[in-house]
Amino acid sequence: MQQITIGIIISVFLLEVTLSALNYRNRLKSVPENVRDAYDSEEYRKWLDYTMESHRLSMVARIADTAILIVFLLFGFFPYIAGLASSVTSDIKLQTLAFFGIYMAVSYVLGIGFRIYQTFSIEERYGFNKSTVKTFILDQVKSLVLAVILGGPLGYLLLSMYLGMGNEFILYAWLLFMSLSLIINLLYTKVFIRLFNKLTPLPDGELREKIEELARRTGYEVRSISVMDASKRSSRLNAFFSGFGRFKQIVLFDTLVEKLTADETAAVLAHEIGHARHKDVLKNFLVSSVQTALYLALLNYFMSSGDFSRSFGFSDVHIGFALILFGILMEPLGIILGIPLSAISRRAEYRADRFSAETAGKKPMTNALKVLAKENFSNLTPHPLVVAMTYSHPPISDRIEAIANARTIETL
């Protein structure tokens, strides 16, 4: 079991490095004709430099993560922190939570340096980072506090269910996860986003008028359109749609409103309305419910088998370590499932683009995509294999081609 685990870790690492290297090498490929005006020569050179630096850092971080994990597995780190956790309390549930807490704290400390360098060196030099040291620290503190406040009680509840329910654990854990997922979907913008960002209603003016006119034409009831102060952290542009039913909300980054014209912003909003009209959030929720059921069934097997824990120095099954090992050994399955799920996601993006082109016009949506590509330093020449395996959105050139060709869009 030990050799299989190490083999899986190394295989996933080599696959990720290979995909990253393919994408990196493809950066010098000729840019598609329909997006050559997205960057001028100086901006494109800047993008190449940014890509090179980001690639190097991601490779160093990935190598470090993999090496540290293998060392931890082979040299008894996990039994050691299990011993520390058991010295704190005799309660098996609290021991497991303490085990996770120690492991996550060590992982956080080992990874924070890479995040700091990415944010305050690479992102800073290329004009993306707008976050101050104070904002960065507050974000880290808020994230950690949320993890403790939400993750601690949830973990304790799940452990109680597992230890007390037997085979019924899978069903009730699935119901719990689906309920939490539903709550998060409904409250994501209303509650969780507001913990980190300020949301303000879109003010009166040309853009609001265009959006209201677009809503009338599409028959979409706009309950809430908010502008988020994303510029306090980054210069990147984005917009997103969350929730369903009466909890539907659309959020525009203030950077998006600033960089795009009213027509282009309306086109992006039409794209988000397209997701709503096609019930993409609900579809994603249903897909995740099937995934969750599959993973819970496999997890139940991992946590009930002592062979996995004993092969790495434990005397018997250890629930906390079984959970970590489960995450490692399920990575290949996640990669395999990710291929069709990414394809489904790209198809949804094409549909939303088509809806935008039909309701807001082809030219505004095309122009908006080019601005988004430029401002976000999008890769204009991704490797086809990387796209097929990992891209949730189609490459910009493919999206623009689909918008320009109605027949192509209809067959996607």
- For the segment 83-109, the average pLDDT, to the nearest whole number, is 91
Query: Do 2 and 311 form a contact (C-beta atoms < 8 A)?
Result: yes
Return the minimum-mean-pLDDT range out of 54-68, 76-90, 169-183, 232-246: 232-246
- For the segment 210-227, the average pLDDT, to the nearest whole number, is 80
| Mean model confidence pLDDT for the chain | 86
Please compute, for residue 310, the number of CA atoms within 13 A of its CA located in the half-sphere on the CB side: 7
Domain ranges, ordered by start, for the chain:
1-129+279-405, 195-259
Measuring CA to CA, which residue among 347, 338, 326 is closest to residue 411?
Answer: 347
Indicate whether 243 pLDDT > 70.
no
Query: Do 85 and 99 form a contact (C-beta atoms < 8 A)?
Result: yes
| b/e burial code for range 335-358 (CB count within 10 A of at least 16 → b) | bebeeebbeebbebbbbbbbbbbb
Better-scored residue on pLDDT, 166 or 279? 279
- State residue 407's pLDDT score: 47
First and final CA of the chain: distance in angstroms? 43
Sequence-separated (6 or more) residues with CB below 8 Å from residue 303: 162, 317, 319, 322, 323, 326
The residue length of the chain stands at 412
Indicate whether 23 pLDDT > 60.
yes
pLDDT band at 247 (very low <50, low <70, confident <90, very high): low
- State residue 244's pLDDT score: 62
Q: Per the annotation, does 221 bind a ligand? A: no
- State residue 245's pLDDT score: 61
Residues catalogued as catalytic: 272, 353
pLDDT digit string, tens, across residues 170-188? 899 999 988 988 888 777 7
pLDDT band at 355 (very low <50, low <70, confident <90, very high): very high
Indicate whether 385 pLDDT > 90.
yes
Q: Per the annotation, does 393 bind a ligand? A: no
- For the segment 250-275, the average pLDDT, to the nearest whole number, is 88
- For the segment 97-120, the average pLDDT, to the nearest whole number, is 92
Per-residue DSSP letter, 52: H
Per-residue DSSP letter, 243: -
Phi, psi of 340 (to 5 degrees): -70, -35
- For the segment 234-243, the average pLDDT, to the nearest whole number, is 76
pLDDT band at 120 (very low <50, low <70, confident <90, very high): very high
- Name the CATH superfamily, with its identifier, for domain 195-259: Metalloproteases ("zincins"), catalytic domain (3.30.2010.10)
- State residue 408's pLDDT score: 38
- For the segment 20-24, the average pLDDT, to the nearest whole number, is 87
- State residue 217's pLDDT score: 84
Question: Is this prediction's pTM over 0.95?
Answer: no
pLDDT digit string, tens, across residues 144-164? 898 888 888 998 998 898 888
- State residue 412's pLDDT score: 41
Q: Per the annotation, does 53 bind a ligand? A: no
pLDDT band at 222 (very low <50, low <70, confident <90, very high): low
Indicate whether 342 pLDDT > 60.
yes
Highest mean pLDDT among 52-56, 344-348, 371-375: 344-348
Sequence-separated (6 or more) residues with CB below 8 Å from residue 167: 300
- State residue 411's pLDDT score: 37
